[in-house]
Amino acid sequence: MHVVVGAGPVGTAVAWLLVDRGEEVKLVTRSGSGPDHPALTKVAADASDPAALSAIVDGASTLLSCGGPPYRQWISHWPALGASLVAAAEKSGAVLVTTGNLYPYGAPDGPMREQDPDRPNSAKGKVRAQVWADALAAHRAGRIRTAEVRGSDYLGAGAVSFFTVGVLPGLLKGKQVAVPADLDAPHSWTAVDDVARTLLAVADDENAWGRTWLVPTAPPVSIRDLAADTARLAGLPAARVTTMPGAVLWLGGLFSPPVKEIRELQYQFRRPFVIDSTQAEEAFGIRPVPTEDALRATVDAARGGS
């Protein structure tokens, strides 16, 4: 039996992969939401409550963390969730594999690789780096078995990322979109399906535990090219994107909490932001989903398709 925390795009994809291979799954969310399947039990619980989560995980072989607090509550809520995940893994003996991101690396000076040290330069990056450091310390102490899987900005059905939230809606309406980014900087986009596949590959391989892995990810694509591909796949006129000056974004953050949340992470979009996922591709034999396929799934879902 496997426990999946979070029923967003990644958690749902992981649950379906497990069900498809005949596994029993418990899917944990605050509301008890998620897809319907005879082999999938939806559980309503607060995963940051260690007693509640430990009871749910009892008897499970793996605990897959695929969710998290609302973005604006990361700094205040991630420490409790991270501690609860470790506590549940320790009490149950389940292997803990967490869905991470690239924030802990900070601003890169070249392609990011697994061996790069965590040098977070943002508040969100620092809290995610600490959550991983605490889990890794528990692993090295022999209390748990764990690993973390890190991907770049997501594409795929239901994906929530800088592009899908801040750029895609305007493009699909045929509007000109001002983007706070270098439109021509190479940028890595990770397919949601590849995140799910990597999480399970790591969970199944004891030699993969005790470290981070980068999700196999297709070659980088600039925002300008991704916008152009979006318009083509959607059958729309050529995309119109312009660069939003940093000062405009900063002022917008004074009035909009969501805008304020992304200001400290602007380094990801004002310069090249690329990962080298060669290690995971070779270790697990995962060939990344082509960016066009992931983008097509993104567009279809955004337009109400399958």
Q: Give residue for tokens 């535990």.
A: 209
pLDDT reported for residue 248 = 53
pLDDT tens, residue by residue, 284-298: 999 999 999 999 999
Share of the chain above pLDDT 90, in %: 88
Report phi then psi at 135, rounded to 5.
-65, -40
How many whole angstroms separate alpha carbon 79 and alpha carbon 148? 16
How many whole angstroms separate alpha carbon 191 and alpha carbon 159? 9
CB-count burial class (<10 Å; 0-12, 13-18, 19+) for 69: middle
How many whole angstroms separate alpha carbon 95 and alpha carbon 89? 6
Beta-carbon count within 10 A of 191 CB: 27
pTM strictly above 0.85: yes
Helices (H), 58-178: 74-92, 123-140, 162-166, 168-172
How many whole angstroms separate alpha carbon 185 and alpha carbon 151? 18
Beta-carbon count within 10 A of 221 CB: 19
- For residues 168-174, give the mean pLDDT: 94
How does DSSP assign 166-200, residue by residue? HTHHHHHTT-EEEESS-TTS-B-EEEHHHHHHHHH
Q: Quick check: 255 pLDDT over 50? A: no
Q: How far apart are the first and last CA of the chain?
A: 29
Beta-carbon count within 10 A of 178 CB: 17
Q: Quick check: 77 pLDDT over 60? A: yes
Q: Report the chain's mean pLDDT, rounded to a whole number.
A: 93
How many whole angstroms separate alpha carbon 293 and alpha carbon 191? 9
Asked if residue 218 lies in contact with residue 286, where contact means CB atoms within 8 angstroms, the answer is no
